[in-house]
Amino acid sequence: MRLVLLGAPGSGKGTQAARLKEYLDVPHISTGDLLRAEVAAGSPLGLQAKEVMARGDLVSDEILLGMLKDRFSRDDTRGGFILDGYPRNLAQAAALDQLLAELRQPFDYAVQLTVDNEQIIERLAGRAKAEGRADDSPESVRHRLNVYDQQTAPVIDFYRQHGQLTVVDGVGTLDAVFTRIVEAIAPEKQVG
Ligand code: AP5
């Protein structure tokens, strides 16, 4: 299974990807996690990305594509993957298409988790308190949602127009959302 998980910040991509990874037995590739690991390691790339991420802006397409190519060069992606956090603009969508075509691994599903902004703000305020993620401050969350509307929403429209989009309601318990995703992508597999 080759899956691209889309949705606004806080829509539950990371949470559901962690479960889907176990269920589908494929690696979870989160560009946010890859970038946070670079920041934590204090690498040159991490130093470049740190402020941009804290503001809630997008890190450069060039850096992201390099990171992604590197990650996809590992053998564990041969049997499938869950990609979370990429693509975030139309240029990244085109780059992903090209990369997956070169690897002969086109994605099976692009799944968008939908959650209204009010609930997203509430979720991320809770995480800011619990985990203190630098980009979960109210200002950064507002900015991330604007960036999503301006830059990432066109990717959703693009996939929809090309019949490549599966929309899943991301509101409800973690189990309920998980079941909806599985029913959308692998209805022949029973959850439980
Ligand atoms: P990234 O890490 O991808 O952040 P994001 O998209 O903003 O996603 P989040 O991790 O905030 O949300 P999520 O949808 O994964 O939800 P989660 O499961 O965590 O990117 C961070 C930054 O890195 C970007 O802003 C950018 O700077 C940079 N970056 C990354 N990719 C890039 C790219 N491709 N190009 C350029 N820059 C890039 O859940 C959120 C919270 O809600 C959690 O507390 C969770 O417990 C809770 N929750 C989850 N599901 C539910 C539910 N059903 N009910 C109630 N609470 C729930």
Residue 192 scores a pLDDT above 90: no
What residues are designated binding site?
Answer: 10-15, 31, 36, 57-59, 85-88, 92, 127, 133, 144, 172
pLDDT of residue 107: 96
Residue 32, φ and ψ in degrees, nearest 5 = -65, -45
Q: In angstroms, rounded to a whole number, what is the distance separating the alpha carbons of residues 46 and 38?
A: 4
Average pLDDT of 106-133? 94
Pocket lining: 71 vs ligand 1, CB cutoff 6 Å:
no
Nearest to 144 by CA among 121, 122, 128: 121
Q: What is the ipTM of this complex?
A: 0.97
pLDDT of residue 186: 80
pLDDT of residue 191: 62
Mean pLDDT computed over every residue of the chain:
95
Could you tell me the distance, in angstroms and rounded to a whole number, from the CA of residue 175 to the centre of ligand 1?
Answer: 18
Q: Where are the domains of the chain?
A: 2-185
Position 123 confidence tier, pLDDT thresholds 50, 70, 90: very high
Average pLDDT of 4-27? 97
Residue 31 scores a pLDDT above 80: yes
For 73-115, the pLDDT digits (tens) are 999 999 999 999 999 999 999 999 999 999 999 999 999 999 9
| DSSP codes joined into one string, the chain | -EEEEEESTTSSHHHHHHHHHHHHT--EEEHHHHHHHHHHHT-HHHHHHHHHHHHTPPPPHHHHHHHHHHHHTSGGGTT-EEEES---SHHHHHHHHHHHHHTT---SEEEEEE--HHHHHHHHHHHHHHH--GGGSHHHHHHHHHHIIIIIHHHHHHHHHTT-EEEEE--S-HHHHHHHHHHHH-TTSPP-
pLDDT of residue 77: 96
User: Which of the residue ranges 52-56, 132-136, 156-160 would you say has the lowest mean pLDDT?
Assistant: 132-136
Tell me which of 3.40.50.300, 3.30.479.30, 3.30.1370.100, 3.40.50.410 is the CATH number of domain 2-185: 3.40.50.300
Closest residue by Cα to atom 50, ligand 1, is 12
**Active-site residue 104, yes or no?**
no
Average pLDDT of 41-65? 96
**Active-site residue 180, yes or no?**
no
Two tokens at 84? 């979370």
Q: In angstroms, rounded to a whole number, what is the distance separating the alpha carbons of residues 32 and 14?
A: 9
